[in-house]
Each structure stands twice: as structure tokens, then as C-alpha cells.
């Protein structure tokens, strides 16, 4: 009887965790988003342990109403290269800075992530990213967000939270965050080297779409269709 009760409790806890939207994103999930498990969140993680092509790379772990994917821009001649192993890491993508300028959105080598959102006209959108990477002097890559593909300058840039954490002799773990004053239905997230090249081992992305307080929402209901997201 005791074992049956214990099993029932375990199942209840698992079901409760699922209902709360709690998710873990694998071995590199060292700094979960502060909003994880709250309403209006998504979570997705890519580990690249196996080569599955250069476009439409689906996440290894995903909790999202849409279909997020990674596209690798460029080929071998552009120094966009997949390595089955690199030091202690399994499955690594290399992207190269090349000769492109800072504002150029047609680069020959980069990682681009398509990230669908909860489709609500809410006023705040939070993005939290963890990445395991190698780069010269441990410099964290540049990460840009193009809401619904809009490259109007200035393009929002994700900021590094604290200092990157060394993982062994070569690789680092870094955390990025960004808050947008509107909620796009989707966005591109671009990962680019700060200098020369960046070796990307894993990418973990979480988002939250924050609704207005109930009272403000009711007051604004009459003008709902007149509002703009931007």
C-alpha cells in the first residue's frame, strides 16, 4: 500500500510540473531564465550532437506553440563548418566573421534562429539565452534580434549577463538577455563572432510574453484593434 501511495505522489508531482510548464533544457542548462515556468513562456534547446543538415535544424528539447529552427548561413568555403567533436564537446558549429560590416544583414557565415512566439498583442517580450561556445580570449559572441525580420536600425542587441564562465580549458558558458517593449509574433536571433570565429556547442533560448494587468487590459479593450505593436 505504501509503495502504491508513493507512486501516486510521484505521478501527481510529474503532472503538476507539466501543468506549471516547468521544463529542463539539458546538461548546459546552468542558468535558467528567471521567468521559467510562468505563463506565456517558451523554451527550446539545440545541442547539435549529430549533423542533420544546415537548414531547418529542429531543437533537441522544445516547449513552444510554434516550430523554432536553426539555419546555418554559408557553406564550407564561407567557413561555416560542422565538427563532430572539438576537445570535450560533441557537435560544434563554426561561424566566421568574414569581411562583413556591423550593419550588414546578408553575411556569408552566421547562425540564424527562427523563434515563434505566443501570438498575443502584449506590451513586453523577454528573451533569455544560454550558449556554450569557444572564441579567442573567451569573448562572448554578438547576438542580435530582428523582430519579425525587421532590420531597421538600430537592431536590438542582447546583452551579456555577468561574465562568461569557463568550462574546462577551451569552452565557455555565457548568458544573454533582452527585453522588447512589444511582442512580435516571431523573431530572428543572429549569433555572430565578436572577432574572427566562434565555435557554438549549444544554444538554449527562453522567451516570455508578458500581458498587461487585468485592469489596464479592460480599460484598453475598446482600442484593442487600434494599437500597434511598435
Which pLDDT score is estimated for 107? 64
Which pLDDT score is estimated for 99? 56
The answer to pTM > 0.95 is: no
Which pLDDT score is estimated for 121? 74
State the Cα–Cα distance between residues 131 and 138, nearest whole angstrom: 12
Per-10-residue mean pLDDT of the chain, 230 residues long, equals 38 39 88 94 97 98 95 90 96 85 66 89 92 96 95 91 95 98 93 92 96 49 40
- CATH second-level architecture of 34-214? Sandwich (2.60)
Q: Which residues contact 177 (CB under 8 A, 6 or more apart)?
A: 126, 127, 128, 129, 158, 159, 161
State the Cα–Cα distance between residues 70 and 47, nearest whole angstrom: 11
CB atoms within 10 A of CB 64: 18
Which pLDDT score is estimated for 62? 97
State the Cα–Cα distance between residues 33 and 145, nearest whole angstrom: 17
Q: Where are the domains of the chain?
A: 34-214
Residue 76 burial by Cβ neighbours in a 10 Å radius (0-12, 13-18, 19+): exposed
Which pLDDT score is estimated for 224? 39
Amino acid at each position: 500500500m505504501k509503495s502504491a501511495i508513493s507512486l501516486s505522489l510521484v505521478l501527481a508531482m510529474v503532472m503538476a510540473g507539466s501543468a506549471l510548464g516547468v521544463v529542463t533544457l539539458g546538461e548546459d542548462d546552468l542558468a535558467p531564465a528567471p521567468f521559467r515556468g510562468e505563463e506565456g513562456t517558451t523554451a527550446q534547446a539545440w545541442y547539435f550532437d549529430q549533423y542533420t543538415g544546415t537548414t531547418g535544424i529542429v531543437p533537441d528539447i522544445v516547449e513552444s506553440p510554434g516550430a523554432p529552427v536553426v539555419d546555418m548561413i554559408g557553406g564550407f568555403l564561407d567557413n561555416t563548418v560542422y565538427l563532430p567533436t572539438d576537445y570535450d564537446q560533441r557537435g560544434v558549429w563554426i561561424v566566421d566573421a568574414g569581411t562583413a560590416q556591423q550593419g550588414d544583414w546578408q553575411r556569408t557565415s552566421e547562425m540564424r534562429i527562427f523563434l515563434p512566439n505566443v501570438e498575443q498583442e502584449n506590451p513586453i517580450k523577454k528573451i533569455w539565452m544560454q550558449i556554450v561556445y569557444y572564441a579567442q580570449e573567451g569573448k562572448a559572441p554578438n547576438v542580435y534580434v530582428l523582430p519579425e525580420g525587421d532590420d531597421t536600425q538600430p537592431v536590438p542587441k542582447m546583452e551579456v549577463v555577468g561574465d562568461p564562465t569557463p568550462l574546462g580549458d577551451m569552452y565557455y558558458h555565457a548568458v544573454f538577455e533582452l527585453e522588447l517593449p512589444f511582442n512580435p509574433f516571431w523573431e530572428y536571433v543572429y549569433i555572430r563572432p565578436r572577432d574572427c570565429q566562434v565555435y557554438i556547442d549549444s544554444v538554449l533560448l527562453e522567451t516570455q510574453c508578458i500581458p498587461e494587468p487585468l485592469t489596464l487590459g479592460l480599460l484598453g479593450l475598446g482600442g484593442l484593434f487600434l494599437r500597434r505593436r511598435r
